[in-house]
Structures are given as C-alpha cells and as structure tokens.
Amino acid sequence: MERIRTAPRPHWQARLEEIGFPFHTELDGTAYWDESAHWRFPLAEVETLEAAAEEVYRLCEEAVGHVVTRGLYEAVGLPRWAAPAIEASWAEREGRDMALYARFDFAWDGMGGPPKALELNAETPTSLYETAVAQWCWLQDTNPDADQFNSLEEALVERWQARMRAFPALASQAEAVHFACLMPHPEDEATIAYLQTLALRAGMTTKALPIQAIRYDDASGRFLDDAGLPIRHLMKLYPWDWMIRETTGRELVAAAAEGRIRMIEPAWKMVMASKGLFALLWALNPGHPNLLPTALDRNGFAAGGRVVAKPLLGREGRNVSIATLDAAGFPVGPPIAQTEGPYVDDGWVYQAFTPLAEADGNHAVFGVWMAGGKACGLGIREDRALITGDTSRFVPHLIAVG
C-alpha cells in the first residue's frame, strides 16, 4: 500500500454537494473529506483485509453467543434487565432480527504482519455515505479505469431484500420501516436518508422522522410515529446503550423482547457494540493473529508496555488515552495521547497499542464494512494525532491495476 499525493478535483466541494454529501467540511473550515491524497492498494492487500474482517466478525458472533448463553452482560457494560430483549433477538438473528451492517477499524502497515482489529462499530457506524458514494464518485472522476474495495451499496440493498423475505408484510407493503435519528443533525440525517433510499430501492415502504418524535402509548403498548401510526420496524441511528438509559428504555426493551417492535440494529447488537467484547475475544482466542491483547484489567500487561484505555461504551474516539504502564499497571508519566469526552462511567477496556499505517505524518485507520457477515467496502480515516476521532479526515482509495 502507499499514500499518493494528488491534486483535488476543481470545485470538489460543489461536486460532493451535487451527489448529496454536504458535510465535507467542518464548521471551523477544515476539510473532513480530503482528496489531496489517496491510498493505493494491490489487490492481494485488499483480499488480506477482507479475510481478516470476515474472520474477526465470525469470532465476534461466537463471543456474543458466549455472552448470551452465560449471561455475562455486566462484563460488557450492559444491565441484566436488558437480557430478555438481547436473548430473544439473538435467537432470531438469522431471520427476523438479522443484522444490517457494521464497520471494523483495523491497524495495518502492510509490511508483512497481519491486520489487527482495533474495534467493531457494530451498531451506529459512521462514514457510510463517504465510503459507499463519495469515494466511488471520486474514483469515477479521477481514475475511471481503476477499481475500489466498495460493494457496500449493493450489499445493503441485498440486506434490505433479505429482511423483506423474513417479513412478508414488508414485501407486500402492508408494513413500513421507520427511519429515525436525532434531528436536526445534518450528517445523521444524510446517513438515514441514504439508508432509506436503499430500502426504497429494495421495494420497501419507508418513513423518516426525528427520533424525538417517537412516543410510547401506554394503553396499546405500542411505539407511535408523529402521525400516531404504530411503528413495527425501526431503523434508528441512535445507540441502544443511550436508549436503555432513557425514560422509555424499559418499554422499548420489553417491546423488542416480545416482538412488538423490530429494531434495526437488533438488541443483540448491544453486546457486539461493546468494546468489552474485545477482551472476551482475546480470552477466547489468545494469540489470534488478527487480535490484540485486550483485557478489562490493565494489570495483565507487562511493565513498559504501551496500552490504550477505552470506555466500554464509548464512541468517536472520545475518552481514549495511550500510556506506558509500570509493573503495577499504572501509567508512567503523562499519557502519550488522550482525548476528552463524556464516556467515563461505564468501565474501561485496555488494549495493547499497535501503530497505525503512517505516511507524511498522517496516521490511517482502515475501516472495513460488513453486511451479512461479508466484508464489502473500505473507508480510510486519517489524523495527525495517534487517536482517530469524529473529525479525522476521510481519504479515498483505489485498487492498483496490473
């Protein structure tokens, strides 16, 4: 792999807005979408990433099963009262509670060692539109004869079609899928709109609404939309671990457990979304080449080792720190890097540090998208800092020809 500097397309902002991608620049004027460079991969390296993602996803599914069958919810930061919904949806994971998508973050330099999975964004993964649409448009405009690791859009349409096969009422349009996120929020709304477009392409009836507009009706035990219609299928760009802390969380969990509402992503994704799952993955598969030593207790790391501390239920690179530990598991001196954030109350997971691919002072995380257990796309985020966050730049890629 190599990072290649390139001249951005003339009027690239207008080009992105033309295809429905307005959040290409941060509010302070810095570019979020960055086409001043791209990453170039030989096909064999793409196949290596693809195989690693599918292998670790298989291990993640096994680990979720381990949690469910043994009731290890506290270990992944989840309340036991959510177990009925998690267990009911896990039992139907191949059909009515099938997953839609997920995105791994991998560290890899392509220098001979295997890709290492850093975490799995299993429930509300971001950079969807950038991966599926914006970088494909960039490729067609700049390198139309090249290829890209990118069948994400086709894979998502197939997942909607699979859902229609599991629910004939969706196929007959007797039922609809509601799409909800916090509004106003331009990025989340654009992501929801894209997912809704793909569901429409699959043949579904859909409706979008602010998640704040959904209400619970005590008399009927139903969740209702802003027109008072019952919600039977809810695609929400909003984390389960936030919902179960809110007033209606227990009603939602009960409704999901009893099948009165079908959630996308389903309740079992709560387990897969916890970063604590990677501690279990390492315990179940010690020494696996695509995993990093990970534990819920930092005392297990050798003195002098560099370790990354992450919140069990954190997101967007918040509250992450990198430090060197002493023999007692305490940091030696100030952190090498750290970020601030709100995720400090749900426990921590500790993971051995591994460097990201680095070029021109940029550190790159390789995000491999999953749909139906298959790897189907690659999105790359870069940052000058060691920790990738929500403002880290998105950089396109291509597969080398010949």
Given the DSSP bridges, would you call strands 206-210 and 177-181 parallel, antiparallel or unpaired? Answer: parallel
CA separation, residue 259 to residues 89, 231, 385 (Å): 9, 12, 44
Note the pLDDT of residue 249. 85
Spatial neighbors of 112 by CB under 8 A, at least 6 apart, are none
- Does 20 or 315 have the greater pLDDT score? 20
164 contacts 193 by C-beta, under 8 angstroms: no
Coil vs helix vs strand at 398: strand
Task: Please compute the mean of the pLDDT values over residues 182-200 and round it to a whole number.
Answer: 94
Provide the pLDDT for residue 245.
Answer: 87
Residue pair 354/335 in contact by the 8 Å Cβ criterion:
no
Average pLDDT, the chain: 95
Position 61 pLDDT exceeds 90: yes
- Three-state secondary structure call for residue 41: strand
Question: Residue 139 pLDDT more than 70?
Answer: yes
pLDDT (tens digit per residue) in 352-379: 999 999 999 999 999 999 999 999 999 9
- Cα radius of gyration rounded to whole Å, the chain: 21
Looking at residue 316, its pLDDT comes to 85
Identify the band that residue 27 occupies on the pLDDT scale cut at 50, 70 and 90: confident
The Cα–Cα gap between 308 and 353 comes to: 6
How confident is the model at residue 247, as a pLDDT?
A: 85
- pLDDT tens digits, residue range 95-104? 999 999 999 9
pLDDT in tens, 107-138: 999 888 999 999 999 999 989 999 999 999 99
Is the per-residue pLDDT at 187 higher than 90? no
Q: What is the pLDDT of residue 402?
A: 64
Q: How do residues 283-338 score in pLDDT, each as one tens digit?
A: 999 999 999 999 999 988 999 999 999 999 888 889 999 999 999 889 999 999 99
Query: What does DSSP assign to residue 129?
Result: H
Contact 342, 319 (CB under 8 A): yes
389 SS3 class: coil
